Amino acid sequence: MQLTSPRGLIHSGHYCIPGIAMPTQDTEERREYYRIEDRVALEIIPARQGQEADAAPLPPLFSLLGELHQLDFEAQHLLRQIAESNRTLANYLKVQNKRIELLGQALAQDLLKDQSAPQPVILSEGGISFASEQPQAEGDGLTLKLILLPQGLGLVLAARVVYCTPMDDGRYDIGTEFEALTDAQRQLLARHILQKQALERRLALENLQGD
């Protein structure tokens, strides 16, 4: 799979429109993904440190936020069923979910204090591309520790380097594809991407109305 670089180029030869998700295909699975320009807190753990990273416990707050989002994901189908028979109760539960989401965002600010500053990336369900001070060899495995904003969703994902290209500023444009995602991880990524797309569309509409 080819990914968009942070510099705005899609390696398949197409062009990236800022703020708009672009379709791409995984060459093996032939399924369509959508890329978004995003900012995430990202920690890159090389393959040679992978076993140590797997053995090291995650920060409690990182794990807690991940569990909160996982529970919310698992409850969505129950909420839809409740809405079919009791709209008032469903609306009340949505308000409670919003309160929990806001608390999670506040907790995420504490988590970010111990992480690197959010950086621009190109993200899809299939992989992520980013700029790095250090090069990575094509085909190498990585462990990527991501915190998606603003909800503070923490994910630890296995990935493999598909390209590493020198940039004019001395850094490297690195594209990766995720490996062995669970259904829950894929769905959480998909929901984040859809929410980001919806926000971009709403902001674009507000700008047009403001003009």
Instruction: Supply the pLDDT for residue 182.
Output: 87
CA 205 to chain CA centroid, nearest Å? 24
- Kindly indicate the confidence band of residue 3, based on its pLDDT and cuts at 50, 70 and 90: very low
Is the CB of residue 133 less than 8 Å from the CB of residue 119? Answer: no
The mean predicted confidence, pLDDT, of the chain is: 76
- 170-180 residue pLDDT tens: 999 999 999 98
Q: Is residue 139 pLDDT above 90, yes or no?
A: yes
Q: Is residue 38 pLDDT above 50, yes or no?
A: yes
Q: Is residue 201 pLDDT above 60, yes or no?
A: yes
CA distances from 136 to 52, 76, 141, 179 (A): 19, 39, 9, 17
Give the global pTM: 0.66
CA 182 to chain CA centroid, nearest Å? 14
Name the one residue in this structure whose structure tokens are 């909420």.
79
- 144-166 residue pLDDT tens: 988 888 877 888 899 999 999 99
Q: Which CATH class is domain 22-49+118-210?
A: mainly beta
Name the E strands within 115-152. 119-123, 127-132, 141-148
Instruction: Supply the pLDDT for residue 69.
Output: 64
Neighbours of 204 (CB within 10 A): 12
Inter-helix orientation angle 183-210/60-85, to 10°: 80
Instruction: Supply the pLDDT for residue 59.
Output: 63
Helix (H) or strand (E) holding 33: strand 32-46
Alpha carbons 101 and 76: distance in angstroms, whole number: 14
- 103-130 residue pLDDT tens: 777 777 766 666 778 999 999 999 999 9
Instruction: Supply the pLDDT for residue 62.
Output: 65
Per-domain residue ranges for the chain? 22-49+118-210
Instruction: Supply the pLDDT for residue 56.
Output: 52
